Amino acid sequence: MAAERHPLFDDLDVRALSRRPGAKWSRVEPDVLPAWIAEMDFPPAPAVRAALARCVDDDLGYPSWDGRSVQNPLREAFAERMRERHGWVLDAAHVREFTDINQGLQAVLHVATRPGDGVVVHTPAYPPFLETIASMGRRPHPVPYTPDGDTWTFDADRLDRELRERPARVLLLVNPHNPTGRALRREELQALAGLALRHGLLVVADEIHSDLVHAPHRHLPFASLSAEVAARTVTLTSATKAFNVPGLRCAVAHVGAAGVREALAHPTHLYGEPNTFGVAATLAAWRDGDAWLAELRTVLARNAALVGEELPPGVRHRMPQATFLAWLDCRELDLDTDPQTFFLKKARVLLNDGRTFGVEGEGFVRLNFGTSEGILRDILHRIRNALT
């Protein structure tokens, strides 16, 4: 039987992509296929494109919201989406906007911690988070993800013991996780919630990849575990990953922790306001983009399977439970250089260097499979050929 065609996702033209001015395609030489930075090659959902066009046609004046006397419509839209998709009922008045997730994280660390305070974080970790912890002088407390058959796991009991000896202030929880693609189960989240309550941790839950969890896995918002957990959690998210609009720089935070909420409210204009395009695109994505998202997820599940089938022996891969990212263990290849340099030189494919995700990333690369079937087959073919 012929495979189902997905024209919105599979009709990509490499020549057109390589003329794009954004980071992913403009930073590589013409014969290199980029599979690095975490954005997909697909055009955004039709509803998102239409909303952006309407902004241009209608009004680029000051928006009607000011984030204070008139609420940003993203707040209610986020509350509505969480209620509908996850049964999490939250107060829209506790939602606020940021330019991006990193800004939200730094603002929260700024008001809730001091230099030297410990920040618990799963490793390998999204590189800007490691940079944030270091540049703000906070102390990283790594919790390694270790192989567990076909997936990854971490040792919650060990973390408990460590926190008794070396207390921390914050748990920075990235779920679903970049780069391993883990989507944590309820019991795992409950174990972390127990630790947060026992050790008085503020939890910053980055759930930016939550719309990209592959069946049969499911996303569970951390703050939805209980009112007590919500009251010590800041949830950060945006439409930028799942709806592929990272250039629009727009994110939201549900600030369940009352003290943090109050601290973030002053001074009133420090963080600025999100722009009209980011808000319009996010609203359209969340309210009218779910049919597109469902098809995207079918395409990503197909691509994830293709990565598993077409990788050469010696490159170990555990099927991601979420995201469009594959975390590839190349340690058995016994290369004479790091795998990113090797594949760039020999395969003309740009991957992310695992070492930027922390020490556990030595010998790993991250492959982005958010592209058409044709381009992905080409990437995987190049990787295989480089090793023969």
Ligand X SMILES: Cc1ncc(COP(=O)(O)O)c(C=O)c1O
Min separation Cβ 388 and ligand X, Å: 32
Q: Smallest Cα–Cα separation from 233: which of 149, 273, 175, 180?
A: 175
- Give the type of residue at 81: R
Please tell me the distance from the alpha carbon of residue 339 to that of residue 327, in angstroms, as a whole number. Answer: 12
The binder of ligand X chosen from 10, 41, 97, 100 (CB under 6 A): 100
- Under the binding rule (CB under 6 A), the answer on residue 38 touching ligand X is yes
- Under the binding rule (CB under 6 A), the answer on residue 174 touching ligand X is yes
- Under the binding rule (CB under 6 A), the answer on residue 208 touching ligand X is yes
The binder of ligand X chosen from 25, 42, 65, 126 (CB under 6 A): 126
- Under the binding rule (CB under 6 A), the answer on residue 246 touching ligand X is yes
- Under the binding rule (CB under 6 A), the answer on residue 178 touching ligand X is yes
Q: In this complex, which beta carbon is closest to ligand X, that of residue 126 or of residue 364? A: 126
The binder of ligand X chosen from 45, 184, 203, 251 (CB under 6 A): 251
Helix and strand element counts for the chain (H, E)? 15, 15
| Residue 140, strand partner residues | 119
- Under the binding rule (CB under 6 A), the answer on residue 239 touching ligand X is no
Element (H, E) at 152: strand 151-153
Q: In this complex, which beta carbon is closest to ligand X, that of residue 174 or of residue 365? A: 174
- Under the binding rule (CB under 6 A), the answer on residue 142 touching ligand X is no
The binder of ligand X chosen from 41, 206, 211, 329 (CB under 6 A): 206
Please tell me the distance from the alpha carbon of residue 112 to that of residue 346, in angstroms, as a whole number. Answer: 47
Min separation Cβ 101 and ligand X, Å: 4
- Under the binding rule (CB under 6 A), the answer on residue 240 touching ligand X is yes
- Give the type of residue at 235: T
Give me 42's structure tokens: 């697909």
Rg (CA), the chain: 21
Q: In this complex, which beta carbon is closest to ligand X, that of residue 256 or of residue 370? A: 370
Query: Judged by CB under 6 A, which stretch of 107-115, 238-246, 270-278, 380-388 contacts ligand X?
Result: 238-246
Please provide the DSSP assignment of 41-91 as one string.
SSPPPHHHHHHHHHHHHH--S--S--SSSS--HHHHHHHHHHHHHH-----
Region of 13 (left: φ > 0; alpha: ψ -120 to 50; beta: rest) is: beta
- Under the binding rule (CB under 6 A), the answer on residue 368 touching ligand X is no
* Binding residues for ligand X (CB under 6 A): 38, 100-101, 126, 174, 178, 206, 208, 238, 240, 246, 251
